[in-house]
Amino acid sequence: MPELPEVETIRRDLHAHLCGSTIHGLSVVHPGVVLGTPETFTDAVVGRRIVGSGRRGKVMWLDLEDGHAIAIHLRMSGQALLVDEGAPRPPHTHLIADLGGRRALLYVDPRRFGRLEIIDPCAPQASVLLRNIGPDALSADLCAETLRTAAAGRRIGIKQFLLDQRFISGIGNIYAAEILHRVPLGPATPAGRVTRAEMERILEQTHAVLGEAIAACGTTLADARYRSALGRSGEFACMLRVYGREGEPCRTEGCTARIQRRTSGGRSTYLCPACQRAGRRRRA
């Protein structure tokens, strides 16, 4: 958390409210959150106007007028928040950008795993945050055959494959579970044994699930950790079919099974044992 839908929601907030704004000042409270020195980072952004935004997987960026961009990877607990200038700073605020017009952009991160980097969006291989990231899960250029080629010969479970950002970027634990339930396919099914029809179905449901989650502004769980840049909660939690629903009835019409919580690839996962019988082949 946050995954692609949450990052895309934040990116859209920032794009709508920051494009055209100039960064008048920058305060790096905790140097560890920026790649490179705070001085170099500050020199690269202060006085620059924000002219656009972008995203690949879970990494988003704000385009600057000189061709560079501020890349942000929120990782486990990072937040990018737009607040009124002078408003009380939340705990764990590690970076403050003065945007003028009585606004500020804060980077807040209790666990301090997230990072910010000055990048050239046209040269992702030169970026620490982007160089090892595969195609975006919603990219129009991503096809089932590309995923099958990447999965060929791999014995890891299909869920673990979807979580590996080198192969497809943006999917995390929540949405991988939801996607595989809709396919339906067991999370432990070896990635290398997934058929072309199943991979096409995975890609189809990836677009469906992520699209619905973006429309709902992401998923805010019971810990209330995720908020959009404007402080809104995501509403997709009430639409989850398996994630976090251990012991509850499956929501597939006609299914009487209850959702189970298991371990797959060293991580907890949720599934319907009837709909997603591991290794069972179903028509897409």
User: Which residues are designated catalytic?
Assistant: 2-3, 58, 267
Q: Which residue has the tokens 């943006």?
A: 170
* Alpha-carbon distances of 65 from 27, 46, 80, 120, 272, rounded to whole Å: 20, 11, 21, 12, 49
User: Are the CB atoms for 185 and 198 separated by under 8 Å?
Assistant: yes
- Report helix angle 4-18 to 196-215, nearest 10: 40
Cα separation of 15 and 168, whole Å? 24
User: Are the CB atoms for 81 and 231 separated by under 8 Å?
Assistant: yes
The first and second tokens of residue 98, run together, are: 């003065």
3-state SS assignment for residue 93: strand
